Structure 1
Amino acid sequence: MTADGQPVAGGGRDQGAPAGPRIAAVSAVVCNFNGETYLAACLDALLAMGEELDEILVVDNGSTDRSIEILERDYPSVDVLALGVNGGPGTARNAGMRAARNRWVLAVDNDAVLEPDVLAKLRAALEADHAAVLAQPRSLVHSDPSTVHYDGASFHYVGLFTLRNFWRPLAQAEGHGTVPVDGLVSICALIDRDIALDQGGYDEDFFILFEDFDLSLRLRIAGHRILSVEDAIVLHNAGTPGISFRNEQYPRRRAFYHSRNRWILLIKNHGWWTLLLSSPGILVYELAWLVFVLRSGHLGVHLRGKWVFVRDLPTTLRKRRRIQSGRRTRDRDLLVGGPLTLSPQLVAKPVAARLAGLLDGVLRLWWALVQPLVR
């Protein structure tokens, strides 16, 4: 048993119902960096849950705006862990999970606004499925709640998320219950922090981008289950300026992290045989993305991302050995060949949409050919 009376869980297990509730108490951990625009709405929604939450902890990632002032002035009941420097969301989320006084953590980004019943629905889903270690809600676009933003994901073999219901009208979205998924999109999730930290938590070397993909892939490789609870709703705001990509030009920093982090994820998590078989598809995607970065003026940072990946390869390979030694789920049972999910801005023009469709078709075809050989 853990300090808060929770049963110790093992990977990919279903040991039957414990004597009492599986989730005795929940800590909310809010990841914040320069979130003065969003914090009030996020915290007000959490505070409205009352005794459902045992504590609310904001982990501040070295904000330079008025975040700390707002917290001290308007939210004296909320605990604050100020890290002093911005180590990326993974650093803040890990610090929050370690500092939380409960095993079960409701991890929330500062630009998420939870509907009142979100925690109750996530909790019920996990109580009903003791093999699952994480449940996430459906997120809708804050400025247009009739549109789904994120709803869980699958793992595309080229190192991308295949997102469920991405930018689909809510009325047309698939599913309205609880479904197993592979990918965590870390806007909001109720997570067994002991299991997450045992798997290494968020990889802080990513800084940002792909860090939630990486954690969820490692959890699935180790045999754990992830749920998407589609009638639990979170409104997702505009994200972090300079990184998030909604309506503005593709951010320069995002181009760097996409170039570097995607390859870190591939080398850490995919089997060598899988990488060999899928390499033609990976190369086709890489060339297509190179055309995009040339057109967007980000070739320099793209190449720098590749150089940093190569420079840090020994560290990545050390992490790989630990992950692969604990593998319980085969790549062929985790990876998919499509559909290729791209931001609507990237395929807004008819020519871009046709080229993206062609790329998606090529990637699907190659995976259909090699997937039976993947182990």
Structure 2
Amino acid sequence: MKSISAIIVNWNDKEVTAACIRSLEEQDCGPVEIIVCDNGSTDGSVEFLKSTFPHVHLIENENNLGFGPALNRGLEVARGDHLIFLNNDLVLAPDCLRQLSLALDSSLWIGGIVPKILFDNKPGRINSFGVDIHYTGIACPHMFDAVDSPNMKPYETACGGIFMFPRSIYEETQGFDPDLFLYHEDHDLSWRIRLLGYRIETCPKAVMSHQYKFNKGVFKYYSSEKNRLVLLLKNYRWKTLLLIAPALLAVEMAQWAHAITNGWFLLKLKSYFEIVVGLPDTLKKRTQIQSTRQVNDREITGLHEDRLQLSGIKHPMLENWLSPFLEWYGERIRKWI
């Protein structure tokens, strides 16, 4: 079996991270290189992790770099043939990494393998099994809160969320976009992997449990929405962006309504400002991505959803206006993509 490196990001959450590390130590695939990237924790995490897990490779960042940039630091030193990044609030079943690694080796064209993630506090309920992506870039866990079943089959997904990938994919993609501080960094990497012609598939035999907490904080909306627009600018062709522009405008109108009524409209303005300031770098990345892509947007959007569904969010405007319009519009532009 190929060697495996697992990278975890910790930020002021030492006990939760410890549970994740212990589950990695109990994997039946043999020794796993465990790398923890601490993002400037102030709760004594560094001292605790050093004393409790002296064999773990601990990277000490002076401040909070964000999720993707911290993972990149771990990827730079990882020695495994297969690489996996983990949220620190995940606990892996003992055979999880072995199942992921075997599935990853089943085809040269698999660029990532996704586990089945269950709620830790809802026995038999699924947190995610891959990620559903709307053509406007909005992401939602696939099979959220569905009943688990032993008869689930692998399928190709547009986005991994958490996934294992071979070292060769890291070398081709150079990992996560360092300018995506938090949210959509996994979506962006998945998209770029698919643009290179690889598939991302699920593995129902690989199971993790997740201490899921739905975050309704305004920073999440601000960072997620900013990064969503950036990854669309980087990864879609100009023609596709023009075709979906009316749908993007509808989503922005809904986001503005939410921002105004929930007190984050200044952050929404800030996100536009930061997108404009970062546009030269975004366009440079876009040029590189578009020059190496191997598949067209029709193939990419073949796994994208027309109807918008958001886990944990229900609102009359979403259900009665926005989602039906996006579905109607998406169905009509697909033949032109």
Partner amino acid, structure 2, of 1:296: N
Give secondary structure in 1 for the equivalent of 2:14: coil
Equivalent in the alignment of 1:96: 74
TM-score by length of 2: 0.93
Distance, in Å, in 2 between the alignment partners of 1:339 and 1:227 is 22
How far is 1:37 from its partner? 3.3
1:90–1:204 CA contact under 8 A, matched in 2: yes
How far is 1:94 from its partner? 1.1
Does structure 1 residue 325 correspond to structure 2 residue 291? yes
1:156–1:337 CA contact under 8 A, matched in 2: yes
Identity rate, percent: 30
How far is 1:155 from its partner? 3.2
Partner amino acid, structure 2, of 1:342: L
CA RMSD for the aligned pairs? 1.9
Distance, in Å, in 1 between the alignment partners of 2:75 and 2:320 is 40
Distance, in Å, in 1 between the alignment partners of 2:33 and 2:255 is 43
Segments of 5+ residues of structure 1 without an aligned counterpart are: 1-22, 239-244
Distance, in Å, in 1 between the alignment partners of 2:83 and 2:318 is 42
Does structure 1 residue 340 correspond to structure 2 residue 308? yes
List aligned pairs for 1:16-165, cutoff 5 A. 23-49=1-27, 52-165=30-143
Does structure 1 residue 185 correspond to structure 2 residue 161? yes
Equivalent in the alignment of 2:183: 209
Partner amino acid, structure 1, of 2:96: V
Return closer, same or farther for 1:361/1:204 CA change in 2, 3 Å cut-off. same
Return closer, same or farther for 1:55/1:220 CA change in 2, 3 Å cut-off. same
Aligned residues: 335
Return closer, same or farther for 1:75/1:50 CA change in 2, 3 Å cut-off. farther
Pairing partner for 1:284 from 250, 258, 267 = 250
Runs (4+) off by over 3 Å: none
Distance, in Å, in 1 between the alignment partners of 2:173 and 2:5 is 20
TM-score by length of 1: 0.84
1:177–1:231 CA contact under 8 A, matched in 2: no
Distance, in Å, in 1 between the alignment partners of 2:320 and 2:184 is 23
Return closer, same or farther for 1:159/1:47 CA change in 2, 3 Å cut-off. same
Segments of 5+ residues of structure 2 without an aligned counterpart are: none
2:306–2:331 CA contact under 8 A, matched in 1: no
How far is 1:162 from its partner? 4.7
Does structure 1 residue 269 correspond to structure 2 residue 235? yes
2:82–2:101 CA contact under 8 A, matched in 1: no
Does structure 1 residue 356 correspond to structure 2 residue 319? yes
How far is 1:50 from its partner? 5.8
Return closer, same or farther for 1:258/1:127 CA change in 2, 3 Å cut-off. closer
How far is 1:353 from its partner? 4.7
